[in-house]
Structure 1
Amino acid sequence: MDNRAEVREFLISRRAKVTPQQAGLPDVGDRRVPGLRRGEVAALAGVSVEYYAKLERGALGGVSASVLDAIARALQLDDAERTHLFHLAHAADGTSAGMRPRRRAGKRWTPRPSLQWVLDKFTAPAIVRNGRMDLLACNHLGRAMHDPLYDAAAGGQPSFARFTFLDLDAAHDFYPDWDGAADICVAILRTEAGRDPHDKELHDLVGELSTRSPDFRHRWSSHNVRTHGAGTKLFHHRDVGDLELAYESMDMISDPGLTLTLYAAEPGSPTAHALDLLASWTAQTTSGQTPSAQPET
């Protein structure tokens, strides 16, 4: 990806989101575009207008951490946005090349047996994904929960991104809040693009989705980023109905670039009962039995 263009568009998009009132500045004169003027950001960051204009044109190579911090404060960046800015700066001066996880070209990642044993020990859904939103591994309940993604992949690599934007009927059914899920998906991809700007497979994915999905193209142009650590998600499973699940995500130290996500239902909740039913069916299916109960309608 063009680093200078990424920097320019990211800084301009963040500047447009901050009003003079939010920055504690007087709103003087007509503004042709929303947000702060370049001069106002420069003043808030303690740099010259000329220097900030140079940065906003994409010249982040060699910029000190203190200046990046000052720009982040002036633009009121959150933690994810600040990290993204630093990743863009590292890419601009070439230091990100040594930070990228090593990959074996042309070889599809598969979970180690020990990792699969760990996943299978969890009684709730557990999955492993990469920054491109490929679903790489899961336990039995995670597999049952994400059946629509595996159906859409037709034997290939399940992809949250392709499923969300290219299998719209199934995705809208699986995600009751499809807009929220789509926003999160794109923000994670944009974050990954800043972290690893030389990932050819990510480039190809973004190009494919931008060409085939206006919904993706619109969201990609917003330059929103996200740290996806914990929260609550709502899913709809075709057999057991709505699932409101808390999730915790964590980076895998042994596999840089991969994320382990664990889901859990509130004890005693309808979702907990639905997961118990799904787990029972999954156990019977994997043991070759026929499920003995049907979901209530």
Structure 2
Amino acid sequence: MDKRAEIGAFLKSRRGKITPEQAGLPVYGQRRVPGLRRGEVAMLAGMSVEYYTRLERGNLAGASDSVLDALAQALRLDVTEWEHLYALARAAGTGGTRARCRPKKATVRPSVLRIVEGLHDQPAYVRNNRMDLLAANPLARALHCELFETEPVNTCRFVFLDPRATRLYPDWKRVAREGVGVLRVEAAKNPYDRELSHLIGELSTRSDAFRTMWGAHDVHVFTEGTKRFLHPAVGEMELIHETLDLPGDQGLAITVYSADPGTPAADALQLLASWAATQQQETAPEQTGTEG
């Protein structure tokens, strides 16, 4: 991935989202661009136009924290975008001579598995920074039953390459944009992750929707929120999700879904648990022979 092009495209996309009115700038006559001009961003950030132009051309190497903070404030970046800008700057500072390497394969520790499997009434899974699901409890497998029919089990591949995803997620476009935003953040943090680069390249080649969303340079980090599902066996449910990073396992996080007690979503989760238990009984191997 071209680091300079990545930086330039991100900065251009952010200034293109801000109107002069939002930035508190006067507007005179007609403007050819909807967002801010380079000179306006430079003025808001307290730097010369020449210096900002150099930054937007992808040369963030050596930019101080104060410069990045001023730029983030001028572009009205949110917390996730701010951190993304810092990640791009760190990547730019490594230079272009570092050998591309394959990161160590993440494994789920037994203690983490016990946590996930101990949540009997809440769907829970462990994912890595590429959105691969590495471990899941039975209720999470039941909730994402169609996803777990694919190989490898990757939520972004499922969302963009499996037509069943648009049915499972009624808010498919939002789910898709958030997934792309997560990959965008991870690509800046881990520019030498070959598997991540291959995933992004595959989705860009095979999905027009992914290619369009990737070009928007939006970023996202999963923390908490709600997600709607239209499950093939249980029907519609809206669940609360929390994502907890595992500090001791870089790139891994636990996601847990739940519902407020007494709500239709809680009833749907109970129905899902019953359905999952029935499915497990039907697929369990029959015991043969008797003890003598």
Normalised TM-score (structure 1): 0.89
CA distance in 1, matches of 2:85, 2:123: 33
CA distance in 2, matches of 1:199, 1:28: 47
Once the 2 structures are TM-superposed, how far is the Cα of residue 210 of structure 1 from its aligned partner?
0.8
Report if the CA contact (8 A) 2:103-2:193 is conserved: no
In the superposition, relative to structure 1, how do residues 289 and 40 fare at CA in structure 2: closer, same or farther (>3 Å)?
Answer: closer
CA distance in 1, matches of 2:283, 2:208: 44
Identity, in percent, stands at: 53
In the superposition, relative to structure 1, how do residues 55 and 256 fare at CA in structure 2: closer, same or farther (>3 Å)?
Answer: same
Answering whether residue 154 of structure 2 is matched by residue 159 of structure 1, we say yes
Instruction: Provide the secondary structure at the position in 2 that maps to 1:7.
Output: helix
Once the 2 structures are TM-superposed, how far is the Cα of residue 277 of structure 1 from its aligned partner?
1.7
What amino acid is the match of 2:135?
Answer: A
CA distance in 1, matches of 2:156, 2:279: 28
CA distance in 1, matches of 2:162, 2:77: 33
Report if the CA contact (8 A) 1:188-1:228 is conserved: yes
Instruction: Provide the secondary structure at the position in 2 that maps to 1:22.
Output: coil
Once the 2 structures are TM-superposed, how far is the Cα of residue 207 of structure 1 from its aligned partner?
0.9
Matches within 5 A, 1:109-124: 109-122=106-119, 123-124=121-122
Report if the CA contact (8 A) 1:136-1:157 is conserved: no
Once the 2 structures are TM-superposed, how far is the Cα of residue 115 of structure 1 from its aligned partner?
1.7
Once the 2 structures are TM-superposed, how far is the Cα of residue 284 of structure 1 from its aligned partner?
4.3
Matches within 5 A, 1:268-287: 268-286=262-280
C-alpha RMSD over aligned residues:
2.0
Q: Residue in 2 aligned with 1:240? A: 234
Instruction: Provide the secondary structure at the position in 1 that maps to 2:135.
Output: strand
Once the 2 structures are TM-superposed, how far is the Cα of residue 131 of structure 1 from its aligned partner?
1.9
Answering whether residue 258 of structure 2 is matched by residue 264 of structure 1, we say yes
Matches within 5 A, 1:1-297: 1-94=1-94, 103-104=103-104, 107=105, 109-122=106-119, 123-151=121-149, 153=150, 156-168=151-163, 170-286=164-280
Farther-moved stretch of structure 1 (187-196 vs 52-61): 187-196
Report if the CA contact (8 A) 1:80-1:226 is conserved: yes
Report if the CA contact (8 A) 1:110-1:137 is conserved: no
Once the 2 structures are TM-superposed, how far is the Cα of residue 236 of structure 1 from its aligned partner?
1.2
Instruction: Flag structure 2 segments of 5+ consecutive residues without an equivalent.
Output: 285-292
Instruction: Flag structure 1 segments of 5+ consecutive residues without an equivalent.
Output: 291-297
CA distance in 2, matches of 1:17, 1:246: 30
Instruction: Provide the secondary structure at the position in 2 that maps to 1:23.
Output: coil
Once the 2 structures are TM-superposed, how far is the Cα of residue 254 of structure 1 from its aligned partner?
1.8
CA distance in 2, matches of 1:195, 1:88: 7
CA distance in 1, matches of 2:239, 2:145: 17
Normalised TM-score (structure 2): 0.91
CA distance in 2, matches of 1:287, 1:215: 39
CA distance in 2, matches of 1:31, 1:133: 41
CA distance in 2, matches of 1:257, 1:237: 29
Report if the CA contact (8 A) 2:139-2:273 is conserved: yes
CA distance in 2, matches of 1:9, 1:103: 26
1:4-50 per-position Cα deviation (integer Å, ceiling 9, x unaligned): 00000000000000100000000124322210110110010000010
CA distance in 1, matches of 2:107, 2:232: 28
CA distance in 2, matches of 1:29, 1:45: 24
Farther-moved stretch of structure 1 (83-92 vs 263-272): 263-272
Report if the CA contact (8 A) 1:250-1:259 is conserved: yes
1:225-259 per-position Cα deviation (integer Å, ceiling 9, x unaligned): 01211111101111111120011112111211112
1:49-101 per-position Cα deviation (integer Å, ceiling 9, x unaligned): 10000000000001000000000000000000000000000000019x99xxx
Once the 2 structures are TM-superposed, how far is the Cα of residue 285 of structure 1 from its aligned partner?
4.0
Report if the CA contact (8 A) 2:179-2:220 is conserved: no
Instruction: Provide the secondary structure at the position in 1 that maps to 2:21.
Output: helix
In the superposition, relative to structure 1, how do residues 142 and 198 fare at CA in structure 2: closer, same or farther (>3 Å)?
Answer: same
Instruction: Provide the secondary structure at the position in 2 that maps to 1:85.
Output: helix
